[in-house]
Amino acid sequence: MRNLKYNLIALFAGASLTLAFAPFNIFVVAFLAPAILLGISLNTSKYIATWRGWLFGIGFFGTSASWVYISIHTYGGTNIFLAILLTALFIAVLGLFIAVSIYLFRLLTPGTPNLWRIFVFFPLCWVFGDWLRSWVGSGFPWVYLGYSQLTTPLHGFAPVLGIYGVSFITAFCVVLVYLICIDKSTWRTRIIGLVSLGIVFGLGASLSRIKWTYPTNQTLTISLIQGNIEQEMKWDPKHFNQILATYKKLTKPQLGRNVIIWPEGAIPAPTYYISDYLAELDGAALANHSTILVGTILSDSDNNLYNGMIALGMSQGTYQKRHLVPFGEYVPFQHWLRGLINFFDIPMSDLLPGPRKQALINVNGLFFSPSICYEIAYPTLIWRHADKANVLINISDDSWFGHSIAAAQQLQIAQMRALETGRPMIVVNNDGITGMISIEGQVIEQLPQNKTDVLQSTVTGYTGMTPIVRFMRWVE
């Protein structure tokens, strides 16, 4: 019964951790939930602790990432039982990364560990698990602990240490919270823990006052097009002309503004199929001294296809998505898997990745660094090109995840990228959330979700480098 009790505690503590992230943003849970896991992992064998870590992970990812079910079942056409099985398998695998973190932690802190070992190895092992999750099997760098701290003084560490550093600091605070609230410590130890927590938060607050980057003298007018095209329509040939007409109608009143940006895959067809339409857009943009950035499927001379963006009008250039989503944009081992179930045959799941280094898009002297959808979750992908950019853009289509929390989580990730790089971030999403993010990582303007609308705003370019961008530039 005792083991059952602690197993349930691990499961429910993990499930509660989702409340620390968007759209809930109850940041204190990011300290309490892992502190509970820490408490039930000590003074037991490393194998029992690992099991509880896995249960914690199942609870966490079962509440924070189960929206993949919508993609698999609703839009992937997989029957409900197989979709549930695939989602459960996905969650179980993600839970293993927390299990690995706890196993390593207990391996490095055998028996009843000294306090200093807990302070060193718990944050290190937690961040190691996050880093491992970022690249194994193409990676799932989602809901890292540090993302929960965008509204606390700990966000001041982001431009210096990046998301992994903020997660480390957060996990360090988890140990302090454990000492203050859970461990049977003396009052003296609890007071020291409370003072230490205040020092860490104070240091973060001090760092947040430093301006690492500074504005250029260039400001552009922008219009962000939220088409709100439903997935059922998007890949149905019967609605293709209607989609083209919708974007043309939304764009026409915006001509004359410096930049007009469409979401990911706004035109669900290869560029060779829509050459006349693109030529017409290009002419209209040129005549009105505008640049239109169009999310579409790019094709090359060999008819290879890429998820990308093309610049029309006053600017020229393309961007090809570099980090593709497995099963969504390409099928691993497709010789065996293609045709096995409907999900492996969703539209445009045979794309190629773009080259690692690509030219930025120059718009009236400001350099825009694009990323597409899921790429925003890979911090090094954004850091390594931010020094040359003045503005960051992310275009997405989160309608694949229905009315779930995925879009809010992705916006939170975009906020962290803006804060880390000291660059304004433009986010354009097919069904929302479309918005503008300041260099402080704050959403300053946004459109309501699931509504066809246009956000008119301005953007000022920034230059200079934050410490994390400067370091990654040196590493590269």
**pLDDT at residue 337 in the model:** 47
Q: Is the pLDDT of residue 227 over 90?
A: yes
**Total tally of structural domains belonging to the chain:** 2
Annotated catalytic residue within 321, 329, 375, 420: 321
CA atoms within 13 A of residue 176's CA, in its CB half-sphere: 19
Alpha-carbon distance 2 to 9, whole Å?
11
Q: What is the mean pLDDT of residues 372-397?
A: 94
Tell me the pLDDT of the chain averaged across its residues.
Answer: 92
* pLDDT level of residue 475 (50, 70, 90 thresholds): low
Confidence of residue 473 (pLDDT cuts 50, 70, 90): confident
Q: What is the mean pLDDT of residues 67-85?
A: 87
- Return the pLDDT at 72: 86
Q: pLDDT grade, residue 302 (50/70/90)? A: confident
pLDDT tens for 252-261 read 999 999 999 9
Q: Are strands 291-299 and 305-313 parallel, antiparallel or unpaired?
A: antiparallel
Is 125 in the active site? no
Residue 336: pLDDT band (50, 70, 90) is: very low
Mean pLDDT check: name the lowest of 69-73, 229-233, 332-336, 429-433: 332-336
Tens of pLDDT along 419-429?
999 999 999 99
Residues 318 and 428 in one domain: yes
Instruction: State phi, psi for 300 to the nearest 5 degrees.
Output: -105, -175
Buried/exposed code over 90-99 (b: 16+ C-beta within 10 A; e: otherwise): bbeebbbbbb
Look at residue 335 in the predicted model and tell me its pLDDT: 47
Query: Is the model's pLDDT at 239 over the cut of 90?
Result: yes
Q: Which residue of the set 46, 125, 173, 264 is catalytic?
A: 264
If you average pLDDT over residues 74-84, what whole number do you get?
Answer: 85
Say whether both 262 and 194 belong to one domain.
no
* 196 and 311 inside one domain: no
Residue 427, H or E segment: strand 425-429
Spatial separation of the C-alpha atoms in residues 46 and 226, rounded to whole Å: 50
Is-catalytic flag, 264?
yes
Residue 476: per-residue pLDDT:
53
Catalytic residue among 46, 173, 373, 420: 373
Do residues 187 and 275 both lie within one domain?
Answer: no
pLDDT at 2: 66
pLDDT of 11 reads 98
Cis peptide, bond prior to residue 23, ω within 30 of zero? yes
**Exposed / middle / buried, residue 335 (Cβ in 10 Å: 0-12, 13-18, 19+):** exposed
Which has more pLDDT, 43 or 348? 43
> Considering 184, 208, 232, which residue would you say is the last residue of a domain?
208
223 and 200 share one domain: no
Nearest alpha carbon to residue 262 among 244, 280, 279: 244
Does 313 lie in the same domain as 226?
yes
**Which residues are CB-neighbours of 325 under 8 A, at least 6 positions away?**
138, 373, 374
pLDDT digits (tens, 9 = 90+) for 105-147: 999 999 888 889 999 999 999 999 999 999 887 889 999 999 9
Catalytic: 280? no
- Stated length of the chain: 476
For residue 328, is pLDDT > 90?
Answer: no
Residue numbers of the domain that contains 97: 2-208
Which of 157, 188, 208 terminates a domain? The answer is: 208
Q: Which range has the worst mean pLDDT, 115-124, 203-212, 317-326?
A: 317-326
Of 175, 192, 208, which residue sits at a domain end?
Answer: 208
- Could you tell me the pTM of the whole model? 0.94
Residue 41 and residue 350: Cα distance in Å, rounded?
Answer: 44
Same domain for 142 and 91: yes
Instruction: Tell me the per-residue pLDDT of 162-176, one tens digit each, with 9 for 90 and over.
Output: 999 999 999 999 999
